[in-house]
Structures are given as structure tokens and as C-alpha cells.
Amino acid sequence: MNIDLLVNLAYVVSAALFIFGLKMLSSPATARKGNLISAAGMLLAVVVTLLNSGLDYKWIALGVAIGAAIGLTAAYRVEMTSMPEMVALFNGFGGIASLLLAWAEYHQTRNLTAFIAFVTFLSAFIGGVTFSGSMAAFGKLAEIIPGRAVVFNGQRIVNGLILLTAVCAGIAFSIDSASGYPIFLFIVAVALVFGVTSVIPIGGADMPVVISLLNSYSGIAVCAAGFVIHNNILIVAGALVGASGIILTRIMCRSMNRSLANVLFSGFGAKVQKAGDGPQGEVRPATAEDVYYILEAAGSVAFVPGYGLAVAQAQHVVRELGDLLEANGAEVMYAIHPVAGRMPGHMNVLLAEANVPYDQLVEMDDINSKMDAIDAAVVIGANDVVNPAALNDPGSPIYGMPIIEAHRARTVIVLKRSMSAGFAGIQNALFFGDNTRMYFGDAKASIQALVAEFKHADS
């Protein structure tokens, strides 16, 4: 049988494994298996490609060894709370790989057809944007650079001019690639600058959308790189990643009732509300003992996690408290807002790491339909995603954003360090509700105190 036919047959199998694996990622119960199936597909594609390449394997083996060592170290040492930063880094590495591949191919073969020159430009430019943009996102998430939106006068105009310059340079390069090496280097430089300038105006709480979009960019860059080196499986894999990233980005934007342009260009969250602005009223603070009595009497409890849960690394003690509540006869649920946290599925990842049962994770629409019957909603580090202003204040910047309607529960317990505003820069009317009790302090320490109350009562 023809060797090219065997290679393409293996690629078809790999593509099928990618698709099945991607489908399984849609459910927490099957996500781990789906990840392994997709990884098996990629392993098959890589092995077949290498066997058919005739390359010197010693350098490839060295690269595999170094990459595997870095990957294993990261997997074992990176805390689950730092997963958003790690995902941003991995997106960036995918982008720089596409850029370097296109660069190496062009360096080796200068006289390209117009089409191959164009996809070389796309692979280099999108790969460069993905890399530098992901590094900027990593810096925000790791608090190396300010997590808030960084804006300046004329920022949109500057970004528009940078993009227009890149497009013009790409057209010039596509017309005459043989003598276009300086233009190619200019394109790489512009891409790296544009990645940074397009991410810094985006606040930290919009990172789920940004990471999803950068993931899509990395897929598109890989797809373009596949055309550059005439590799079918790169084209298919890149198209799958690019399309799924765009779909997820759209879902994230819809979950905030905002357009992608608004997320990317509005500088949302750049202004922080001053103390005394926004809703006012009587705050009803509660002690650990007060909260214990409320939860001890509750027949149903819904935890509403947010970014504060990740910051406090409180997922394990939340699970422990949930187990104690179940032992006390309460029905326990975890209400998941699609954009809570700093990456897509951030809360799902944290709770899965604490071995919270998948069937207790309830999506926003499903929990809202039950909220009136829930005895206690425990909001842990969430702010804007539970703010009633999204429903009843047309003048609010988050008006129209779907939220978890925790305010409808019989009692709301909010775990928060202070009365500071959320990412949107507005005060949360939920804090002043008649049925709300504010339980101030570090989330992990506060929940540990509740666990101690339950255990003391049982002893």
C-alpha cells in the first residue's frame, strides 16, 4: 500500500479521535477521558508524521525530553488555583510554535507562491499575537502587571493603525516573498506588539473570554501553519481548535450579555467605584456561630463560588462543609456561572480538584429555577455574577447580564473580605438585602470556622 495513503489514513483516525475527544469535553463526567482520547489522536499523528519525515531523530528526541520534563513539572507543581495562568502560557506556546514553524519554512524556501506566502503571513502574525497576548494575559493573572483594564487616550485608534499596518505588510509580503524578508521580520515585530496592546485594555475578570479567544487564535495559527508545510492533520486540528474556541468565546460573551467588541475595546472595569457610591443600606454582619445556626437548620444549600474561592484556595474546605451539611440532611448544590473565575470552566476545575461530585454542579439557568425554594445561598468570593443590578438597574454597566439570582434564596450568606466593589466597579445591592448576612474574613478561614462549629456540635 502507498505510504502516503497510510499516512493520510492515520490522519483520518487522528481527526476522528480529536472530534470524539472534543465532544466528551462538554461534560465534567467525561472530560478526563475525552482529554486522553484527544491526546491519543495527537500522539498517533505525531508518530506517523515523524516516521514519514526521514529526519534526524536525536534532535527530536532531545526536544521531546525537554518538553516532557517541563510539562510533567508544571502538571505536578502548579496549583489548581494557578490553572488560568498555565492555560495562558500553553496558549502562548502554541502561538509561538506556529510563528517559528512559518519562519523556519520561509527561511528555507524564500520564493513562495502568493497563497503560501499569505498563509505564512497569517501563521506568523496570528501566532505572534497569540504568544505576546497570552504572555500579557499570564502577567495579569499572575499579578505581575496590573490586572485591571489599562487604557489610554486614542487606544482604539492605535490598535486599529497597528492592525492596518500588519495587513498592508502582509499584502506586500504575499506579492513578493522572495525579497520580502525584512517585511516578514517587521510583521513578526508588529504581531508581538499588537498582542500586548490588544490584551492590556481588558480587565482581569474578562480573562475567561480572552483565554478562550487566544485559544481560538492559536488554533487558527496552527491551521495556517498546516497549509504552509502541506500537513493535513495540522489543518484539521487547527480548524477544530479555532472553531471550538470561537464558539466558546461566543458562549462566554452571551453569558455576560456583552459583545466581543465590548469585551475587547471597552476598557470595562478600568474605573473603580468610590466608597459611598452606589446602593446603600444596612449591612447585617454575621459571626461563624450565626452562620452555623442558619446552615444547620437549612434543608437545601447552594454554594455560589467566584474568583475569591480560587484566591483563598478554599475549595477543599468548601467540599468538607458540603459533606457535613449532607450528613446533617441538607441537599447541597454548587451554582456555576459560566464566567465566574479567570478562565473557562475555572470553578468546575477547582471543585473537581476537591472531588465535588459532578451531579452537584448546577448550571446558572437550572439553579435559578430552583432558587426560591433554596433555604441558604452561600456566596463565596463572587460579586458581579450575583449582583441584582443586572436585573433591575437600567443604568448599571452590567444591566442585562444573566446572573445567578442568589438574592431570591430565603437566606443569603456572603463571604467577603470587605465591602469593596467588584470588577465592574459598582457596589452590589445584594449586600444590603433584608435576607443577606455578610460573613467577613478570608473565605478559607471563615469556612474552616464553620466546619469547626459543625464538628464541635457533633462531639
Give me the active site residues, please.
384
Amino acid type, 380: I
Per-position b or e across 301-336, b if 16+ CB within 10 A of its CB:
bbbbbbbbbbebbbbbbbbbbbebbeebebbbbbbb
Distance CA 132, CA 31 (A): 29
Residue given cell 495527537 in the structure block = 42
Is 379:406 a contact under the CB 8 Å cutoff? yes
Around 304, how many Cα atoms within 13 Å sit in the side-chain half-sphere? 29
Spacing of C-alpha 262 from chain mean position: 17
Distance CA 24, CA 291 (A): 39
Q: What is the DSSP letter of 273?
A: P
Residue 191's Cβ-count burial label (10 Å; 0-12, 13-18, 19+) is buried
Is 145:136 a contact under the CB 8 Å cutoff? yes
Around 264, how many Cα atoms within 13 Å sit in the side-chain half-sphere? 19
Whole-angstrom CA distances from 416 to 271, 315, 445 are 21, 15, 11
Interacting residues of 439 by C-beta distance below 8 A, sequence separation 6+: 285, 286, 287, 288, 291, 413, 414, 415, 416, 446
Q: What is the DSSP string of 65-89?
A: HHHHHHHHHHHHHS-GGGHHHHHHH
Distance CA 330, CA 296 (A): 8
Residue 6 is placed in which grid cell?
497510510
Around 368, how many Cα atoms within 13 Å sit in the side-chain half-sphere? 13
Residue given cell 516516521 in the structure block = 51
- Angle ∠(319,322,326) on CA atoms, nearest 5: 140
Secondary structure element (H or E) that encloses residue 143, with its range: none
Residue 387 three-state SS? coil
Is 295:376 a contact under the CB 8 Å cutoff? yes
Residue 141 three-state SS? helix
